[in-house]
Amino acid sequence: MVNQVKSVLIIGGGIAGIQAALDIADAGYIAYIVEKEPSTGGKMAMLDKTFPTNDCSICMEAPKMLDTVANDNIHLLAYSEVKEVKGSVGNFKVKVAMKPRYVKDDCTACARCEEVCIVKSVNEFEQGLVQRRAIYMPFPYAVPRVFTLDMENCRKYGGGCRACVTECRDVEGKNCIDFWQKPKTLDIDCGSIILATGFEVLNPSLIPEYRYGVYKNVITALQYERLLNTTGPTEGRLLRPSDGKEPQVVAFIQCVASRDLRGRQYCSKVCCTYATKQAVLTKEHIPNAEVYIFYIDRRAYGKGQWALWQRAEEMGVRYIRSRPSKVSEMGDSDLKVRYEDIDTGEVKEVMVDILILSTGLAPPDGNEALAKILGIALDKEGFFMEAEPLTRPFETDVEGIYICGFCREPSDITESVAQASGAAAKAVMAINRH
């Protein structure tokens, strides 16, 4: 049993949770990061570049991820979930369920096990664009650097072939694979709690006229981000999924399943600018490509974002005020986008090689269960509610429980990091008061 009341539990290991943990550790307190995925990093780890400066995303996040495991004041509990919370500020008692990886912690990440694995499954990190093995590391810079065995698919499709066990023993002289690992429960005492659970991408199939999941060359913006990334499935080459050809005409549709009664009615805040960022990157990859962005209205609210829009226009990106009504597939998997140009009132069509849906973003489904465990409120869209939006934006109705990042409201990376530091300060202050 862990007994350290002068500690803070952080739920979520994305950039907001990481920043909160680092601030708490720097203040001399213990921070526990509970992350449900095998690695920290969250959605930021999937990005190629960050707007508005188009700096390398993982170059900025990876050092912070490594700092969490190098700092003696931070305890990382990856592949884990919070199951129960009792007590009050200054003395919360938390039960954390730790899922078995079926790989021991002293794994050296040599990857020989992955090379011999015969089972393939959907690669969640690559957004389903390619497959992964049953034993895998989510991405090259994953933290912690330990492989995870997807036991369900291993048994279902591989029959427990044990090739990974044999290879691990032969190469390293030891066996890091452990088929007999069991789930564990860890009891933690902490003084305060921070929620930084991030977001999920809305399902574009809610808007059936865009034919996502039907036409191979209709993809989400996050899938396109992986195509742009040098660590992605195409090593940074822009190749359309249907035939591996380089697209010459690229189009984006904004507000897919967002600002729509069929999805979420709110604006996800970052979609206009992330599409513009991707349009700029497209022109950098393929200078002669035609790039279109279909939008309802332009929302560039942050520092430097309008300059990015201007840069895109100077590079030849065309912004069309319209919400396309139909997408059809023609010969050779090309796509025909039908739309009304709001500025001219004309109904037009354009042929494109690949269509990117700028899908809205939403709080994770798991927020509802967490809210019940913690005894805090959600708003109608599933965001954690603040005690008072203007003067107490990081506090909840339960003293000692704080919120930051996208789980609180639509936020970009800069805002999420700033909110995380604010929540960390509040969490430490709460402990000091009790």
Model confidence pLDDT, tens digit, residues 276-321: 999 999 999 999 999 999 999 988 888 889 999 999 999 999 999 9
Q: What is the pLDDT of residues 213-262, one digit of tens each?
A: 999 999 999 999 999 999 999 999 999 999 999 999 999 999 999 999 99
pLDDT of the residue at 125: 97
Average pLDDT of the segment spanning 401-426? 97
| The two structure tokens encoding residue 322 | 């319209």
Instruction: Tell me the C-alpha distance between 147 and 140, whole Å.
Output: 11
Helices (H), 28-149: 57-70, 112-116
Average pLDDT of the segment spanning 117-140? 96
Of the CA atoms within 13 Å of residue 32, those in its CB half-sphere come to 28
Percent of the chain with pLDDT over 90: 90
pLDDT of the residue at 4: 46
pLDDT of the residue at 172: 59
Identify each DSSP E strand in 125-248 by its residue range.
131-133, 135-136, 148-149, 184-190, 192-195, 200-201, 218-220
Give span(s): CATH 3.50.50.60, the chain: 2-99+183-199+363-433, 202-361
Instruction: Tell me the C-alpha distance between 164 and 119, whole Å.
Output: 11
Comparing 2-16, 67-81, 95-109, the range with the smallest average pLDDT is: 2-16
The conformational region for residue 178 under phi > 0 = left, psi -120 to 50 = alpha, else beta, is beta
Residue 70 has φ and ψ, to the nearest 5°, of -85, -15
CB 65 within 8 A of CB 141: yes
Please report which confidence band the pLDDT of residue 85 belongs to, taking 50, 70 and 90 as the band edges.
very high
What 3-state DSSP class applies to 159? coil
Please report which confidence band the pLDDT of residue 174 belongs to, taking 50, 70 and 90 as the band edges.
confident
Average pLDDT of the segment spanning 147-165? 90
Instruction: Tell me the C-alpha distance between 135 and 38, whole Å.
Output: 12
Comparing 70-79, 129-138, 295-304, 367-376, the range with the smallest average pLDDT is: 295-304
- Say whether domain 2-99+183-199+363-433 belongs to CATH 1.10.10.10: no
CATH class of 202-361: alpha beta
pLDDT tops 60 at residue 28: yes
pTM: 0.95
Pairing of strands 91-98, 80-88: antiparallel
pLDDT of the residue at 2: 40
CB 206 within 8 A of CB 112: no
